[in-house]
Structure 1
């Protein structure tokens, strides 16, 4: 391990390992963490999946470098003029009239567990399982332990680590307490997770004649008094600066290794290359990050496009346990739908296998549903079609929302429409939709489904990691939630077009002179299929 050759230090070339990027990890020995993760993961399915992802990233970087090498001095001069003009336009749009506050609870899950069990105070603590850690407190982070890290690796880094299971009911309870405080300062605050939110405190500062620093300190104190928990707060003229965030991990590596861009200053210094290699929308995004420009207005109220819920657990192929986890997820999703009075018609099942591959399967329903029973019934059919399978994560997503319609209380009860369509389109209810970045190209399609539909042929992919392959809409890779909703929109649109519709009833004269076909006629036809 003491060699200097890069060939003998393979962990140094791994882009996907966990590094000292979280608060409280500044003094962590990054190379030690990388080496432990590499040695502990080597040969595992997780490691193989990370290698595949790393190979894809390497290919993107090489492609970026090749494109960059093709740019002539004349090209660069032309693109620099374009960049300078766009930077001037963006700079003129800078709005310093707003005051945004970003609140982030400190090691939230771990802090809640310590609050309810004071004996954990001062001990390195992580919340999660041996498969995956959700949160690590600051004592654990000193050893390199962090969120999204497998628990078995965390124990290698910190043998004294205390690991407690996730308890979402607790976290939701304390999250609601923090939101009570947020509402005092901004009734329209933007919650991005259980422990994170943006608040527009412009009017509070003006109305009370106080500084932004005063309001920030006041809010931190109010949250502590309400919850006995601490939070970190950032204040700035826009949300980007308030959080000090911008691009995702993959984009960071592409910019750094492909173009030598590591800082915002680099982004502006190499703006000609940005303009020459990316689309106009992406150029605006990168240049805005470089200039520190971000959203200053509160987003307009918009209808939710999807709601999702998922559970991570130790890999298992125990079907009874998988259906239990599915039922728990269906109940959580139903609760979320009921809170927002939403009914959905497109249900998507997400599975992460023991080899860390991700599969999604979707079904377009005849009725808009909301209850746990209906969700579990239809989700069970999707899951059953994939078994046997070893799974480590189950997720459900509901989209394509609409008004509630009268529907059978018993989800197994058939409608007349099913008799019109069942004979000719059985099996079309389930559509296989592989996710772009995770599935192997050699993965077999589900055998009991209908032939590949336009949903499969037109699955959303992101060209150059930015552009939707179906409509050309551009979203940076860090906009995970927006990308998911965008994919759901296309999926729902296609499924709606493909949903079987009952054929028109053909009238046929009968021997008794009636102009109508007896209903038994349709039942008989179905049986003959």
Structure 2
């Protein structure tokens, strides 16, 4: 979880570096699809970006500017410019440039390999890609009915429900300007403020932004209420997070003679009722992947149901930007664009190129995206991996050595970790703390618990004990960040994946720690910085979160240096004044 580590955030986004190359050039027949693609590749201009400030602004074009619901009319160029001005010349900006150069080099290498493929070889790749597409088509199952329910601006909406006055002002959920935003309400999003953005950048975008400290007890209570609704339609629904659920309504629709549209309307109405006014948006399709995409189409408080047929799906995907599909991040998107692919329809037409240049695993993923195939079944049915390595929370603040403040902050982080473990029904055997000094030195300590637990007081006491032991070694520490992590979860009593239920959690929501483990839509991607696992749909936002924290650290450090310099300057001026007064006194004497 160390945001100071220099990791390649896009390393596992794709595997294009493992590709096949062939020999000499032959002129292609430009009347065929592959012929036209081949001609485009052999005449393509070298990959490059603008120089100077323009390059810098473009470099951050997809960081914090990837639109969320409520950001449709945001001045993206203004957001880019503010981010660039706030980060230009910093080590992390240079690191982003390095990554950009590496991606450019990778694309140039791929294009060179593509130009080395002969016409005859392209024809072979086209035939093979057709065969793969036909084989994939044979697995298409349009009989399933999936809904994805996504709460609208969940944390912010919970705060607005508790304090209605916040509905009309721009508001972000964070401890303050020195923290990273957990989310922002729809008023703030109109200014370009969004989740995973550093507080100081959010303030520059929206000077009137109000910060509200996160209250996880409030969010977990609302999440529990909404889950009672989801379970009415699918007792084994998949909880992607506190504010998102994957609900298979195939059986429910058959037994009740209803449709996804009607079920979606019912769920939205019931969630609003049981939560006291919170809204959610629902997407529907015959697979989790399609339903997830659709859940973003009519936000907030809306629904979009894709007709569960092959024809409707292919028509829907024809003009859908590839970036809308989870699993396609900014680096992979740029690579696809360099080969003339902007939509899923483009991807399907040019699939032979990617079979030739990408690894089999990457091609299989891209083909599934292009055809709308995959994730029709539950993770346990399709053999997807499950498991989570840890739950952690941390916060950056103005450097302080105030023991009471640091104890309170660590208690807050430990409480949040324990509550999240309870919401996921996880019991940890190990607790670790992370302390960052004002000098940016990082201290990490851990302890093994007496037994697996998610008890709040046990985790809080363990974290406090670790920090107090560290404090007792020497002088009081001046810290700018504290964090707590729970890990080594107990799996001994876990039911087989296909038997794991959420029924007991719903029957006794106040004793969640005693319930069975729920089946979750567990990830295919693990963050290299914090070792936490996430669904692919959350990858971009999570990486932006890490980047935001880096920017916030840089900003805070610069601010501290400026204040220190001003303090030294003032002290020198006062000393000079005192010396002058003494001289005048001696002269008079």
TM-score normalised by L of structure 1: 0.67
- Residues 343 and 132 of structure 1: is their aligned pair in 2 closer, same or farther, counting only changes over 3 Å? closer
Shift in Å, 1:201: 0.9
Question: Which residue number in structure 1 is paired with residue 192 of structure 2?
Answer: 144
The answer on whether the counterparts of 1:349 and 1:383 sit within 8 Å (CA) in structure 2 is: no
Contact 1:25 1:144 in 2 (8 A): yes
Contact 2:433 2:482 in 1 (8 A): no
- The alignment status of 1:273 with 2:357, answered yes or no, reads no
Q: CA deviation at 1:241?
A: 0.5
Could you tell me whether the CA contact under 8 Å between 2:188 and 2:209 is conserved in 1?
A: yes
Tell me the equivalent position of 2:413. 329
SS in 1 for 2:239: strand
Contact 1:104–1:196 (8 Å) recurs in 2: yes
Q: Distance in 1 between matches of 2:343 and 2:470?
A: 45
Distance 1:19 1:201, change over 3 A: same
SS of the residue 1:316 aligns to: strand
Distance across 1 between alignment mates of 2:101 and 2:452:
44
Provide the residue aligned with 1:60 in structure 2: 103
- Whole-angstrom distance in 2 between the partners of 1:64 and 1:381: 51
Match of 2:71 among 6, 9, 25: 25
Q: Does 1:108 align with 2:157?
A: no
Name the residue aligned to 1:284: 364
Cα deviation for residue 178 of structure 1 reads 0.7
SS of residue matched to 1:133: coil
Distance in 1 (CA, whole Å) between partners of 2:233 and 2:464 is 43
Q: Deviations over 1:125-169 (max 9, x none)?
A: 222131211111222111111111122222222223222221212
Residue 394 in structure 1 maps to residue 483 in structure 2: yes
Between the aligned partners of 1:172 and 1:236, the Cα distance in structure 2 is 28
1:311–1:88 distance in 2 versus 1, CA, 3 Å? same
Number of residue pairs matched by the alignment: 413
Q: Which runs of 5+ in 2 are unaligned?
A: 1-49, 294-324, 494-525, 544-589
Contact 2:110 2:357 (8 Å CA) reproduced = yes
Q: Deviation string for 1:279-311 (max 9, x for gaps)?
A: 222221111111112312223298744341313
Aligned-pair CA distance for 1:276? 2.7
User: Deviation string for 1:316-375 (max 9, x for gaps)?
Assistant: 364845554444433444455567775544555567888999x79686859644332674
Is 1:69 matched up with 2:152? no
On the 8 A contact 1:105/1:196 being kept in 2, the answer is yes
Larger displacement relative to structure 2 (114-123 or 179-188): 114-123
Change (3 A) 1:13 1:260: farther
Contact kept? 1:337, 1:343, Cα under 8 Å: yes
**Superposed, which structure 2 residues align to 1:343-492 within 5 Å?**
343-345=427-429, 347=431, 365=448, 368-370=451-453, 371-372=458-459, 375-376=462-463, 380=467, 391-392=480-481, 394-399=483-488, 401=490
Which is further off, 246-255 or 379-388?
A: 379-388
Q: Is the 8 A contact 1:349 1:382 kept in 2?
A: no
347 and 196 in structure 1: CA distance in 2 versus 1, 3 angstrom threshold: same
Instruction: Identify which of 109, 125, 128 aligns with 1:79.
Output: 125
Would the aligned equivalents of 1:305 and 1:399 in 2 still touch at CA under 8 Å? no
Over 3 Å counting, the alpha-carbon distance change for 1:479 and 1:172 in structure 2 is closer
Q: Which residue of the partner structure matches residue 447 of structure 1? A: none
Q: Are 1:90 and 2:136 counterparts?
A: yes
Counterpart-to-counterpart distance in 2, 1:476 and 1:222: 26
1:313 to 369, 392, 396: 396
Which whole-Å CA distance do the structure 1 matches of 2:92 and 2:377 have between them? 40
2-side partners of 1:247 and 1:436: how far apart?
Answer: 13
Secondary structure of the corresponding residue to residue 378 of structure 2? coil
2:16 corresponding residue in structure 1: none
How many Å separate the matches in 1 of 2:436 and 2:287?
36
Contact 1:102/1:197, CA 8 A, preserved across alignment: yes
Aligned partner of residue 222 in structure 1, secondary structure = helix
Uncovered stretches (5+) of structure 1, i.e. residues with no partner? 405-434, 440-459, 461-474, 485-529
The alignment status of 1:200 with 2:248, answered yes or no, reads yes
Asked whether the equivalents of residues 241 and 294 of structure 1 are also in contact (C-alpha less than 8 Å), the reply is: no
Tell me the equivalent position of 1:408: none
Describe the SS at the equivalent of 1:281: helix
**2:174 aligned with 1:125, yes or no?**
no
Equivalent position of 1:219 in the other structure = 267
**Counterpart residue number, 2:549:** none
- TM-score, with length taken from structure 2: 0.61
Residues 331 and 63 of structure 1, relative CA distance in 2, 3 Å threshold: same
Supply the distance in 2 between the matched residues of 1:114 and 1:279 (Cα, whole angstroms).
Answer: 47
More helix by share: 2
Q: 1:238 to 1:378 in 2, by over 3 A?
A: farther
- The residue number in structure 2 matching 1:521 is none
Secondary structure of 1:121's counterpart equals helix
CA RMSD of aligned residues (A): 3.9
Moved more, 334-343 or 239-248: 334-343
Tell me if structure 2 keeps the 8 A contact 1:362–1:382: no
- Matches of 2:338 and 2:528, distance apart in 1: 20
What secondary structure does 2:261 align onto? helix
**Cα distance in 2 for residues equivalent to 1:290 and 1:373:** 47
